[in-house]
Amino acid sequence: MPAEQGQPLSERELEITALVAEGVTNREIAERLFLSPNTIKVHLRNIFTKNGVSTRTELSMMAVQEGWIVLTNIENEFGVSLGEVQAGETDIVTPQFIASWSWRRWITLSFSFVFIIIVMVLPGLPVRQVASTGPGQIFGPAPEIPGQGQSDADGRWKEGAPLPVRRAGMGVASLDGKAYIIGGINAEGTTARTDIYDIITNAWETGQPRPVALGNLEAVALSGNVFVPGGCDSDWIPQNAVHIYKPQTDTWTLAVPLPQPLCAYALAEFQEKVYLFGGWNGDTYTALGFVYDPVEDDWRSIAPPTVVRGFGGAAVIGDRIFYIGGFDGRRELDNCEVYSPEDDEWEVCPPMLQPRGGIGVAATTGRIYVLGGGWSSFLGFNEQFSPENGQWTVMDTPMVGEWRNVGAFVWERSLYVIGGWGGSDFLNLTYAVEIMPFRVFMPGTFRTP
């Protein structure tokens, strides 16, 4: 459940608060508690929200004032003991709801009301952002984008049970209340692992591994099974093998191979058929299109997209398939193309707010959600697209900087993102956000401490 101001801190959050008061850095806290730095950041966001503070100093002062930590062994200039916070020796008192708030909370609340009034009274103010068009090169403000600043998500990402093995470039498909994480790349190379996430119980179990260890691949749910084509090995050599995982029996079967070996493609299921776009063929990135018919167990060529790329993403809205973003070997792309299976034709849709490659793409509530990226440009937000009005809008991100080759899926009204590459290490994080209509995204309210 999203953190709200006034909620009591959990035992873990109290432990982290005590370490913050000691002056320990996020990385050191992570090492002491055997957690990832990103997990510590998420906990701190929740702690800040619950206490209505925005800095570590404010949090430390509040912890002392509220009596959550007990100080010992510090003397002032008159020889009176004032206390000292020591790691491993901090007495923690569980905070309770109190009838009166401290002056700091009232000030924070007052500023929040003022900000909300400004947002409501001045909705027409244009929102402008700095566009990154290359590795660290900022060329100036992007054109004004009508509607930017609205979001369907409630802005509160919550962390789920971590992926059992850190990895990126895996296939992800949701089916009957579970998500299937197939293959991918970890610190040892490509893997054949099958991990199964129970969405209801927030728990993981292990399935039968795929017969081959491949990464940079996609997966989709098809006729009650999980369909996984191709992928690359540890030497970036693509394969054409297509496997189908059957959850009922925890077994794998072979389907007809891809027309050519591929990885880093985009994949989508539409009306019991699988559509594949682009990808890496071992020599270059491609602009191609294939459709798989499970009744015929056969692939056939379809109209290709116009832009050569890999590491894009695809999602279905209505009777159309959107093919978004990607990487062409030199740079990330902001392209958006839309394919009509009925007409076998492509059209251009509005580009994203910033170029992105290695993205997770999913669709629900009539909108497309693009998560991650940050290949050669700084990732500061996720994006969502409304085909109804043709507009891209900003959406909060639980991670900033470089975060790519993630897995994304939706279940009911919630959006999930798993794993990925964080710039210096493979990730095992699981994040979820409930998609709520008619919510307003207020820039700056989702802090990254």
Three-class SS of residue 168?
strand
- Judge whether residue 363 has pLDDT over 50: yes
Q: Which residues contact 217 (CB under 8 A, 6 or more apart)?
A: 169, 170, 171, 182, 183, 184, 228, 229, 230, 231, 232, 263, 265
Nearest alpha carbon to residue 180 among 213, 161, 208, 159 = 208
Local confidence band at 96 (pLDDT 50, 70, 90 cut-offs): very low
Condensed to tens digits (0 to 9), the pLDDT of residues 159-199 reads: 999 999 999 999 999 999 999 999 999 999 999 999 999 99
Q: Which residue has the tokens 């099958």?
A: 194
Domains and CATH numbers, the chain: 11-116 (1.10.10.10), 138-434 (2.120.10.80)
Residue 309 has pLDDT above 80, yes or no: yes
Q: Cα separation of 165 and 187, whole Å?
A: 10
Which tops the pLDDT comparison, 98 or 242? 242
- Asked if 400 and 431 count as a contact pair (C-beta separation under 8 A), the reply is no
Give the C-alpha separation, 26 to 232, whole Å: 36
Q: Mean pLDDT across the chain, nearest whole number?
A: 80
Q: Which residue has the higher pLDDT, 4 or 355?
A: 355
C-alpha to C-alpha distance for 63 and 57, rounded to whole angstroms: 10
Helices 26-33 & 37-51, crossing angle to 10 degrees?
110
Residue 237, pLDDT > 50, answer yes
Least confident of 151-155, 189-193, 395-399: 151-155
- Mean per-residue pLDDT, 119-136: 32
User: 6 or 203: whose pLDDT is higher?
Assistant: 203
Percentage of the chain lying above the pLDDT 90 cut: 58
Spatial neighbors of 80 by CB under 8 A, at least 6 apart, are none
- Confidence label for 69 from pLDDT (cuts 50, 70 and 90): low
CA 434 vs CA 158, 160, 368: distances in Å = 9, 13, 14
How high is the pLDDT of residue 30? 79
The pLDDT score that the predictor gives to residue 1 is 56
DSSP letters along 266-282, please? EEEEETTEEEEEEEE-S
Contact yes or no for 395/362 (Cβ under 8 A): no
- Number of other residues whose CB lies within 10 A of the CB of residue 440: 13
Using alpha carbons, select from 431, 430, 408, 401 the residue that is nearest to residue 360.
Answer: 408
Per-residue pLDDT tens over the stretch 31-51 = 788 777 777 888 888 888 888
Q: Are 309 and 335 in contact (CB under 8 A)?
A: yes
Mean pLDDT of 236-263: 98
For the beta sheet containing 203-207, the strands, ordered from the edge strand earlier in sequence to the opposite edge, are 171-175, 178-182, 194-198, 203-207
| Residue 164 structure tokens | 């059992």
> Within 13 Å and on the Cβ side, how many CA atoms surround 158?
13
Indicate whether 138 pLDDT > 80: no
pLDDT at 449: 35
Sole residue written with tokens 């899926």: 409
The answer, yes or no, to whether residue 87 has pLDDT greater than 60, is no
Q: Name the one residue in this structure whose structure tokens are 């002392």.
A: 64
Q: Is the pLDDT of residue 74 over 60?
A: no
pLDDT at 122 over 50: no
Cα distance between residue 102 and residue 392, in whole Å: 41
Q: For residue 345, give both structure tokens.
A: 């034709």
Phi first, then psi: give them for residue 220, nearest 5 degrees: -140, 155
Average pLDDT over every residue of 55-83:
58
Residue with the bigger pLDDT between 4 and 320: it is 320
HSE (CB half, 13 Å, CA atoms) of 215? 21
> What is d(CA 261, CA 263) in angstroms, rounded to the nearest whole number?
7
Is 142 in contact with 162 (CB distance < 8 Å)? no
Binned at pLDDT 50, 70 and 90, residue 437 comes out as: low
